[in-house]
Amino acid sequence: MSATLLNYALRVFCVIGVLTFAAKIMLACSCGPRPSVLEAFDRVDVVVIVRVSSVDTVDPKVDSRSNPANVRSATAIVEKVYKGNLKVRDEIVLEQGSGSNCIMTFNDNYVGHEFLFYLWTPQLGNRWAVNFCARSNSTSGAKEDLLYLDNLEKRCGKTRVSGTLGEWNSEDFQVANKKILFIGEKKTYETKTDDDGVYEIYDLPAGTYKVQPEILKGWRIDRSWLHYVSGISEQQDSTQSIRFELADKQHVSINISFEPENAVEGRVVGPDGNAMAGICVYLWTLERTKYFGPHDCTDDKGYFRIESIPPNSYHLVINTDGRPSSKYPFPQTFYPGVTDRKKAALITVNDGDTVKGINVVIPKVVETVTLEGVLLYSDDRPVTDGDVKFESTSSDIDGDQRASVDKQGRFRLELVKGVKGVLLSNFYGSIGRYENCSKLDALIKETGKNFAEIKTEPITIEASENIQGLVLKFPFPMCKQKE
């Protein structure tokens, strides 16, 4: 079993500053940058290795509360102590999280497995909560941590750069025994990954560096998450390295994942040759017949560029739903502009390829109409930051559509002709968030909640012709948000 948990745990062991580069975190609780091993160690009360021994389940027929895997809590036995007042063979009870509160959830599959936990001492009761937004992990996934923790006395006070290669979307990338260069202003240093793709290097002088891993042809560093990482240099000048700053006695943790260095680019135009903006195009393998794949959406001039595509042969498809809609007023279409997939042209992508000139002409669009109007507050001032939506009631047409308003509150939607539905807008607000806004506060209180959705009066629409002059109005005046 693989359990990638992540804890923001934290307190003081030796006084050393820390700079952190985050691993990719795909969690519902909205985690921030992950701390380095030292940062996590310094700020928590307890760092231990435990083995989960049991889970306490509930009977869903008796306990109707939301409870992932019908588990109330888990019990673990302490096997090794790096920090804190727990002892080997101590038994601790672990809180069961919800998945959305950043607390780890347990199930029967965890029983018998070892974990490295960074923990705060419980403030109330005796249950320990494992917050997965930092470094708590299965021991098999915490090898970067253990290289440091198992040699703590010898390595405390030294600079350290460490991390892993090949996480998440590059699981097939061969990571063992890869050369890692640290290119400084005056000197280049070198280390290698171990069999698990983990690397570390100590005692680099303070300064500006580029970490440059050994990369196979056709791959590049996945840079899509670098702007979420605190402390990283803004000056990034290569797809093959990451620039960072290392100060005296600091640690830096850089987990590096990879993506294919290839692309497919082209343009989408309508039957009249005019660019079609906001149209999403997908690459389907020959086996795929629905859902999604690598994709991009066209810009105002109809251009798209799909990147990081696994080497394979593909069909390019537009309108994956298969039938005309308000968003895609044409049938499912394949490159170069056919509705029969058997006639579609094949696009082959190899390592390092950029396939250009994939231009799609939509052969035919269904007739559409436009709705135009303005979104206002009850005092007739325009809503300058919001959107309106059309909710289709037609069973035979996917007519749902949404559009943002401009600075004058104006909107414009394009719908499939003949679709029926309602036009409205909604506003989400909380009591006390706005200055002198008693009407809004009163509307929210009527719902019995402190946070509520307030809608405009809906307008019934039958889109048989263009309609102008529509007015949507919220039942409260414009209010200034408190700072």
- Residue 170 has a pLDDT of 47
Q: Give the span between the Cα atoms of 472 and 39, in whole angstroms.
A: 52
Report DSSP letters for 274-321, one per residue: -B-TT-EEEEEETT--SS--SEEE--TTSEEEEESPPSEEEEEEE-TT
Tokens 């949507």 belong to which residue? 472
Q: What is the dihedral of CA 232, 234, 240, 241, to 10 degrees?
A: -40
The strand pairing partners of 131, in sequence order, are 103
How big is the CA angle at 321 (ends 315 and 323), to the nearest 5 degrees? 105
Q: Which long-range contacts (CB under 8 A, 24 or more apart) does 95-100 make?
A: 95/127, 95/128, 95/129, 95/130, 96/67, 96/68, 96/71, 96/72, 97/68, 97/129, 97/130, 97/132, 98/66, 98/68, 99/28, 99/29, 99/68, 100/28, 100/29
Global pTM? 0.64
Residues 6+ apart with CB under 8 A from 474: 375, 376, 377, 378, 383, 425, 427, 454, 456
For the stretch 311-344, what's the b/e string if a residue is b when 16 or more beta carbons lie within 10 angstroms of its beta carbon?
A: ebebbbbbbbeeebbbbbbbbbbbbebbbeeeeb
Helix (H, G, I), strand (E, B) or coil at 178: coil
The DSSP H or E segment spanning 348 is strand 347-349
Amino acid (one-letter) located at 371: L
Report the 3 state secondary structure along 242-261: EEEEECCCCEEECCECEEEC
* Contact assessment for residue 240 and residue 151, using Cβ atoms and an 8 Å cutoff: no
Amino acid (one-letter) located at 136: S
- Residue 341 has a pLDDT of 96
Q: How many C-beta atoms lie closer than 10 Å to residue 295's C-beta?
A: 17
Helices (H), 48-103: none
- Residue 238 has a pLDDT of 72
pLDDT in tens, the chain (483 residues): 433 333 333 223 333 333 333 333 333 466 777 788 998 999 999 999 999 999 998 766 655 454 556 788 899 999 999 999 999 999 999 998 876 678 888 889 999 999 999 999 998 788 999 987 778 999 999 999 999 999 999 998 999 999 988 754 445 567 889 999 999 999 999 999 999 899 999 999 999 999 999 987 788 888 776 655 555 665 666 778 898 889 888 899 888 888 888 999 999 999 999 999 999 999 999 998 887 889 999 999 999 999 989 889 999 999 998 888 888 999 999 999 999 999 999 999 988 889 999 999 999 999 999 999 999 999 999 999 999 999 999 877 778 899 999 999 999 999 999 999 999 999 998 888 888 889 999 999 998 888 889 999 999 999 999 999 999 999 999 998 887
281 to 151, 318, 391, 483: CA distances (angstroms)? 51, 5, 24, 41
- Residue 7 has a pLDDT of 31
- Residue 483 has a pLDDT of 75
The strand pairing partners of 284, in sequence order, are 315
Comparing CA positions, the residue from 401, 397, 279, 262 lying closest to residue 337 is 279
* Contact assessment for residue 255 and residue 244, using Cβ atoms and an 8 Å cutoff: no
- Residue 27 has a pLDDT of 39
Report DSSP letters for 181-245, one per residue: EEE-SS-EEEEE--TTSEEEEE-PPSEEEEEEE---TTEEE--TTGGGSTT--S----SS-EEEE
Comparing CA positions, the residue from 250, 49, 15, 266 lying closest to residue 140 is 49
Question: What are the structural domains, with CATH classification, of the chain?
Answer: 18-145 (2.40.50.120), 158-260 (2.60.40.10), 263-361 (2.60.40.1120), 368-481 (2.60.40.1120)
The DSSP H or E segment spanning 462 is strand 459-462
- Residue 169 has a pLDDT of 47
In angstroms, the first-to-last Cα distance of the chain is 47
* Contact assessment for residue 413 and residue 461, using Cβ atoms and an 8 Å cutoff: no
The strand pairing partners of 267, in sequence order, are 303, 359
- Residue 131 has a pLDDT of 84
Q: Which two tokens stand for residue 112?
A: 């018998």
- Residue 44 has a pLDDT of 93
